Amino acid sequence: MPITKRHIALAAVALVIGCAAGAYAAIPGSNGVVHGCRNNGSGILRVIDTGQACSSAESPLNWVQSAGYEVYRSFGFSPDVEITAVAPDDFQHVMTLSLQPGSYAVSTLVDAQKDSGDGVLVCATFTAPNFVTSAGRSAMGTGPGDSRWQTMSGTGLADFPNGGQAELKCRQRAGVTGANPRVIEADITAVRIGTITQHEDGQG
């Protein structure tokens, strides 16, 4: 079949659309940040890809894409997880949530039950081997104010430059008596946010 001007025009349109789609996929970066350069003379703004730099006649200008939120959830587990670990042993794995590269507000909810005896249950969400994003501690048993069923929750911020996992772990404090507590239900929720910048309040 002979190639016509119409075929050439359609191919050109397809090439332009393909190039535009490729550029859009790289901007913003994986952490949701859009990198730009503002010309110091004309004020013209241009968007650049991750790894590119502004010229000497430009000033860098970055902003966070805010067209909605990305939410990741673990959606529980089954069956119940019996917590046998007792301090000072390592925490016991309960569940994980896999996350894409970016910065997140991570929230964790834990429902636990203890059928007999007394003790203190400690649960924490780890976002690095030695870093805890949120932690909760609850006395369980028959003491004043204690209960056989407890709910704990916590929220914290975490950076995952290369992606990773938020892992919920639990253990009991030393001196526990009776049955081991069981985690009946748990949920990890992570909302991807803009770049995390830490500021100190300067107060002692």
Closest CA to 113 of 170, 189, 188: 170
Give the class (CATH, top level) of 70-193. Answer: mainly beta
- Lowest mean pLDDT: which of 3-12, 49-58, 79-88, 110-119? 3-12
Cα gap 149→163, rounded to integer Å: 34
Is pLDDT of 184 > 60?
yes
* Residue 35, pLDDT score: 84
- Cβ atoms within 10 Å, residue 123: 28
Beta-bridge partners for 171: 122
* Residue 138, pLDDT score: 94
* Residue 67, pLDDT score: 52
With 0.95 as the threshold, say if the pTM is over it.
no
* Residue 27, pLDDT score: 66
What average pLDDT does range 114-127 have in this prediction?
95
Query: For the chain, where do the domains classified as CATH 2.60.120.760 start and end?
Result: 70-193
At a CB cut-off of 8 Å and minimum separation 6, what does 94 contact?
77, 81, 83, 110, 123, 168, 169, 170, 183, 186
Strand pairing class (119-128; 102-113): unpaired
What average pLDDT does range 34-44 have in this prediction?
87
Q: How confident is the model at residue 145 (pLDDT cuts 50, 70, 90)?
A: confident
